[in-house]
A and B are shown apart, each in its own frame.
Chain A
Amino acid sequence: MHNQPRYKPYAASNFFEDGRSERPTIEDTVARGQLHLDEARYTGKLNGKDVDYFPIQITRADLARGQERFNIYCSPCHGRLGDGRGMVVLRGLRQPPSYYDERLVTAPIGHFFDVMTNGFGAMFSYASRVPVDDRWRIAAYIRALQLSQNGPAGIANTSETTTSPSQAQRPPVREKMGQRMGGGLK
């Protein structure tokens, strides 16, 4: 009874050659509900070019979620402020560019989605760890960071002290975000 003849997640199996009980899906398998036809939303691109609008609606709650996810998955390297000086970089990882570089401030939002989805240079893909819509929320939060750092001094201060998602973004950022995001912000 303690060990029943069934597999728990990640259990080893000597039936398959690679020793795993979990089988990879056969290529081109499309599971029910996984037919991703909305190209902009699932690839961040339209006709091969990065999109410059948000394919999902970004509300204040989404920004807070974006901040939380950013702190989990990106801050070890990019730092909580996105300046590229995270803890792991201090221990010898190649330093990523700061999000406040002119090139990244002007980059279309789809670029950030694409970097997370496919990786970029030395950075690995986060597609297996961060679900699609969360990637858009992280992208929105990065945009908010950029605006807060380049905006009036008051906003920059708030972003430095935001540690809990509940106090995520102040209204001034939201208004600016609204303009930048083509009004997608509710």
Chain B
Amino acid sequence: MPQLFRPASNTIAKGSIAVVVLLLGGTLAVGYITDRGSWMTFVQVAPEQPIPFSHKHHVKDDGIDCRYCHTSVETSHYAGLPPTETCMTCHSQIWANATLTQPIRDSWATGRSIDWTRVHDLPDFVYFDHSIHVNKGIGCSTCHGHVDEMPLTYRVNTLYMNWCVNCHREPYKYIRPRSEVFNIDYEYPANQEVLGRRLMAEYKVKDARTLTDCFTCHR
């Protein structure tokens, strides 16, 4: 009886193990990339808006503060979107005949709201609050990125639970002085760790144990 397995099959057997491992790894990698890539998370993807509103023009070029439009961000859980009246304070005069700004005037004339599409939308079982973050020294740009360079608004973070919890475990990595919260060009200093810990004590930031408790965000 001739040999069933010739010496070469040793290599084939080893090879096939490698192939299986690679295939498995590859599938996982593809799965991970699809799941965490912008395809699933919509990070870096700007949704279509009724008016192509540009933070780049309004914030960077015209130097308007976030709070001029997002008035309630310091005092409530909700940052607030500007009512049509806010747009009209300027656009009753500038770009007052352009087609781009026509929906603003339509809204003003008819009293119907402008239907903005949400860029960030947490699931309803998560509780989030802007005012606590802003008042404890987390800047807009830490979570929203360089909004002032976005011709159309998009998201730079997944808003997944691990993103929130990563920071809640070690907030000192991200805390800045309160006076810099609205400074979109703020850069963390080299000694952030020391500064962050000092500010945590100064602002009486809760400890990681409390901040990672499930009921902090799911209440």
**Minimum Cβ distance to chain B for residue A152 (Å):** 28
Residue B186 is within 8 A (CB to CB) of chain A in the complex: no
CA distance A91 to B179 in the complex (A): 28
CA distance A3 to B118 in the complex (A): 14
Residue B112 is within 8 A (CB to CB) of chain A in the complex: yes
CA distance A90 to B111 in the complex (A): 30
- Please name the residue on chain B nearest to A125 by beta carbon: B85
Residue A170 is within 8 A (CB to CB) of chain B in the complex: no
Interface of A is mostly: loop
**Given A1-B124, A88-B90, A124-B85, A20-B113 contact (CB < 8 Å):** yes
Contact with B along A1-29 (1 / 0, CB 8 A): 11110101110100000111000000000
Residue A120 is within 8 A (CB to CB) of chain B in the complex: no
Q: Which one of A2, A10, A122 lies within 8 Å of B93 (CB-CB)?
A: A122
CA distance A88 to B95 in the complex (A): 12
Q: Which one of B65, B68, B115, B124 lies within 8 Å of A8 (CB-CB)?
A: B124
Residues on B facing A (Cβ under 8 Å) = 62-65, 67-68, 71, 78, 80-81, 83, 85-86, 88-90, 92-94, 111-113, 115, 123-125, 179
Q: A1-B124, A19-B112, A76-B63 are in contact. List 4 more A-B contacts (CB 8 A).
A: A9-B80, A72-B65, A88-B62, A93-B90
For this complex, 14 residue pairs linking A to B, each with C-beta atoms less than 8 Å apart, are: A3-B123, A6-B124, A12-B115, A18-B111, A19-B112, A76-B63, A76-B68, A88-B64, A91-B94, A93-B93, A93-B94, A122-B93, A123-B89, A166-B179
Residues on A facing B (Cβ under 8 Å) = 1-4, 6, 8-10, 12, 18-20, 71-73, 76, 87-88, 91-94, 122-124, 128-129, 164-166
